[in-house]
Amino acid sequence: MSFGDVPSVAVSEVPPPSDETAVLLDIREDDEWADGHAPGALHIPMNDIPARTDEIDIDAAVYVVCRSGGRSLSVVPYLNRYGFDAVSVTGGMVAWQRSGRPLVADDGRTAKIY
């Protein structure tokens, strides 16, 4: 499978956190997450995915996001191989911030991706 074969969507196609049929899976590292993330996202760093797939709703559409879209291109095929309906979010959290979608930081500081 080439990266061109990985299902992907634009940030504008990611459903809001209130959509219970979808999961926004943020696979960035802890420090990246702490700087800012989408409200309602599920945080599982990329290297932890194999040990923590039971935390991801197998019945939900899974939108996988990283910083700029590279890491998600590796995780999506892995998840889909194990029965998930996963897609990569093109441009990652950089595109998320540029599009004006909401960001939060856990410690109360101003959230930012770049």
Instruction: List Cα–Cα distances, 105 to 35, 61, 67, in angstroms.
Output: 6, 24, 15
Nearest alpha carbon to residue 66 among 5, 114, 11, 25: 25
Handedness of CA 4, 60, 53, 47 (dihedral sign): positive
Q: How far apart are CA 106 and CA 7, in angstroms?
A: 30
Our CA angle for 106, 72, 38, nearest 5°, is 25
Helix or strand (DSSP H, E) at 74: helix 72-81
**Does 36 qualify as catalytic in the annotation?**
no
Which one is catalytic: 25, 44, 66, 95? Answer: 66
Which residues are the active-site residues? 66
